[in-house]
Structure 1
Amino acid sequence: MHGAPPTPGPAAGGLRIAPIVLKILVTIVVSTGAYVLTNLLNQSGDELWKIAVSVVIGGSALIVQYMVDFEQRLGAVEAGHRERSRELEAQFNKLSEAAGLLSELDQSGMSTSDARRLIKSLNRVGQQGPEIVKAFARSEVESLASVVTDLTSMTAHWPRDNNEWLIRLTECARRTIHATSSSVDQPFWNTDSAGPYLDAQTEAMSARGVTIQRLFMIKEEEEADPDFMRRFTRLCRAQRDTGISVRFLTLPLPEGARLRSVVARDVVIFDSELYLEFEPDRQEGNVQTRLDAEGRRVDGQVRTFNTLWATATELDHRPASSSGGSA
C-alpha cells in the first residue's frame, strides 16, 4: 500500500459521513471520555454530578466544533469577498478606462457610436466566426490601428497604391482638391479603379461644392506624338465635362523657369490641409502611397501646385503645332 490512508468521502468506497453526524459522534466520544475520566478521578462522588460534567464537556466540544467550522466558513467567505472585490475593482478599472477612452473620443470630435459598433462587431465575430474570419478581422484591426497610430505624427505610409485612401479622402474633402497627374499616372484612367474615383469627385463637386483642379504633366516626346495627344485630349475633355478644371504642363520646364527641377509625381492635395503622394519606382510603377498632414510640408505642396498651375496651359489654348492638328 502506498500513499495516505483512506478518508471518509467518495474516494473511500463511496462512504461519506455528513458533517452533523460527525460532530455528534465526536461529542459522544468526548462526553463518554469525560464521564470515564470523572469516574476515575472521583469514584465516590455523586453520579448526577459526573453526568452533568460529562454533558457540559461534551456540549463544550460540540460548541467548539461549530466555532471552528464557523471560523473556517467565515475565512472562506472573507477570502471569496476579497477575490470578488479584486475582480470588481479590475472590472471597474476596465470600465473606467473604456469610458475615459470614449469620453476622449467624444471630446476630440470622433464618432463614439462607430467605436462601439466596431467593438460589438468584433465580439460577435470572435464568438461566431470561423478561424479565417477571425484572423482577417484581426488583420484589419491591426492595419487600422497602425494607420491611426501613424497619423498621430501627421503622416502615414502604404507600401502600394492605395485607391481606397484616395476615394475616402475625396469623400471627406469639403473645399478643394488639387491634383497633379504625371505620365506614370495616365494609364490609371483606363483601369476599373478610375471609375469609383471619378464618381467620388463628381459627388464632391455636386453635393458639397468642392473645387477640383487637375494638372497633367506630360513629356516633350509625348506632346510631339499625334496619337498620344489625341488620346490625351479625349481624356482631358472627358474630365473637364464633369466639372473638373484641367490644365497640362510639358516637362522638362523651359530654362530659367521656377521649379524647373520639379519631379513628375502624382500628388493630390485635399482642402489644402493634407496630401497623398504616390512615389514611383524606376520602372515608373507606383509602389508607395504617403499621406502627410504636417502643416509645413502641406503648405510647400500647395505653393508648388499653385506655381505649376499658373504656368500650365489650358487644353483649348494649346498651340496648334504641338498637337499635330488633333486638338
Structure 2
Amino acid sequence: MSGATTGTTGTTGDVRTVPAPAPPQPRPNGQLRISKLFRKTLVSALVAGGSLLLTSVLNEDDNDLWQWTVSIVLGCAALIVQYLIEFSERLEDMEAGQKRRIREMRDSLTTHHLEMRQAVDESFAKINAATELFSKVDRSVLRSDGVTRLAQKYTQVGEHGSAIVKTFAQEELARLAQLMESLSNGSADCAGENHEWLMDLTTCAKRTLYATSTTIDRDFWTSEPAKRYLAVQADAIKNRGVEIRRLFLVETLDEVTPSLELLCERQRTFGIDARIAVQSELQPNAQVTPLNDFIIFDGELCYETEPDVRVVPAKTTLKMTREHVQERINRFTVLWEATAAG
C-alpha cells in the first residue's frame, strides 16, 4: 500500500512516521541551458579526443601538429553540427507554433465573422420586421400615431421607471397585445363586467346602439359607472346623432315595478328610446329563450355579459363574427317590433 508517509515500529510498539521523499523539482531555464552547453562541449571534446586518438593510431609519423589540427577541426565541426541541429529543431518548433497561432487566429476570425454576421442578420431582421410593421400600420385604417406614441412611451418607462412600474407596464402591454390578438380573431373576453369597454365602445359608436337589459343588471343603473354610461350616451346622441334603443326585458307584468318605469322614463330624458318588453305578453313568434344582456354597436360588434350562479355578471365578451352579430340584431328587431305593436 502506497502513501505519503512510511512507518517503522520500535521496541515499545509505537510507530514513527518517516516523511516521504519530495518529488523532484523542475530545473530552471538557466540550469537547462548550462546542461545543454555542457553536453555540446562534452560531445565536441569526445569527438576531438577520438579524432586525436584515431589519427595517432593511423599516422605512423610523429606529426603532432597535424593530429591536433584534425582533432580540433572535427571537434569544432561536431559543435557546429549540434548547433545546426538545435537551430533546425527550434525553427521547426517556431514554424509549428506559428502555424498553430495562425490556425487559431483563423478559427477565431471565422467564429467572430459568423457571430458578427448572425448579429447583423438579426439586427436587419428586427429592422425589417419593425419597418414592415409600421408599413402595415400606415396602410391600415388605424391611426399610426397611436402605435408610435405607445412604443415611445413604453421605451421611456423602461428607461426611467422603477422596477414595479416596469413590471406593471409589461403586464399592461401584454394585456393590450392579448386584446388585439383576440379582436383580430373575432372575439375577446374578460372576467366580470368591463365598464371601460362599455364606455369606450359607446364613445366610438357612430350610427346605432341597440341594447337589452335584464334583471341581471338592474343594480348597475344605480351605480357610479351607470352615470358615466348615461353621460357618454347623451353625448353620442347630441354630438354624433347616434340612435340608441334599449329594451328592459321582464318575464311577467308583475316585474314591471314603479322603479323600473321610473328608470325607463329617466333614460328617455337623455334621448334614449327606452321600452319595457314583457315576454309573456308578446306574440308567440316574439317570445324567445332567456338572453344574456347584449349591446350591438353600429351593427358590427356585440357586447355581452354572462351571469354566474349568483345571477351577477361574471364574464364580458366582445363578438364580431358576422353571423353572431346578425343573429343578435334579428332577435332585437323581433322584440322591438313586438313591443312597439303591443
Structure 2-normalised TM-score? Answer: 0.67
The alignment status of 1:238 with 2:266, answered yes or no, reads yes
1:288 partner amino acid:
K
Q: Deviation string for 1:178-213 (max 9, x for gaps)?
A: 011112222211100112211221221222211111
Letter in 1 for 2:274: V
SS in 2 for 1:178: strand
Specify the alignment match of 1:181 in structure 2.
Answer: 213
Question: Which residue of the partner structure matches residue 276 of structure 1?
Answer: 303
Aligned residue for 2:224, secondary structure, equals: coil
Residue number in structure 1 paired with 2:255: 222
Match of 2:186 in 1: 154
Residue in structure 2 matched with residue 98 of structure 1 by the alignment: 130
- 1:179 partner amino acid: A
Q: Establish whether residue 196 from structure 1 lines up as the match of residue 228 from structure 2.
A: yes
Structure number with bigger Rg: 2
Q: Which amino acid aligns with 1:188?
A: F
RMSD across aligned C-alpha pairs, in angstroms? 3.9
Following the alignment from structure 2 to structure 1, what is the Cα–Cα distance between the partners of residues 263 and 203?
Answer: 22
Question: 1: distance between equivalents of 2:340 and 2:222?
Answer: 23
Give how far 1:74 is off: 7.0
Q: Which residue of 1 aligns with 2:4?
A: none
| Per-residue Cα deviation, 1:77-130 (whole angstroms, up to 9, x for no partner) | 565444323211110011111211222233332333322322232233233323
Identity %: 30
Deviation at 1:303, TM superposition (A): 1.0
Structure 2 counterpart of 1:312, one-letter code: T
For residue 244 of structure 1, what is the amino acid of its counterpart? I
Give the unaligned 5+ runs of structure 1.
Answer: 6-32, 45-56, 319-327
Question: 1:184 is paired with a residue of what secondary structure?
Answer: helix
- Residues matched between the structures, number: 280
Structure 2 equivalent of residue 305 of structure 1 = 332
Q: Does 1:250 align with 2:282?
A: no
Structure 2: distance between partners of 1:153 and 1:77: 48
Report Cα offsets for 1:220-244 as digits up to 9, x if no partner. Answer: 2222xxxx31x22332222112211
CA distance in 1, matches of 2:147, 2:175: 16
SS in 2 for 1:99: helix
Which residue number in structure 2 is paired with residue 322 of structure 1? Answer: none
Corresponding position of 1:29 = none
Please say if residues 161 and 288 of structure 1, whose CA atoms lie closer than 8 Å, have aligned partners that are also in contact. Answer: yes
1:115 alignment counterpart:
147
Of structures 1 and 2, the one scoring higher in RCO (CA 8 A, sep 6+) is: 1
Contact 1:249–1:313 (8 Å) recurs in 2: no
**One-letter amino acid matched to 1:270:** F
Letter of the aligned partner of 1:235 in structure 2?
L
* Closer, same or farther: CA 264–156 of 1 in aligned 2, 3 Å: same
TM-score (norm 1): 0.69
1: CA distance between counterparts of 2:143 and 2:337?
A: 40
Judge conservation of contact 2:286–2:338 (CA < 8 Å) in 1.
no
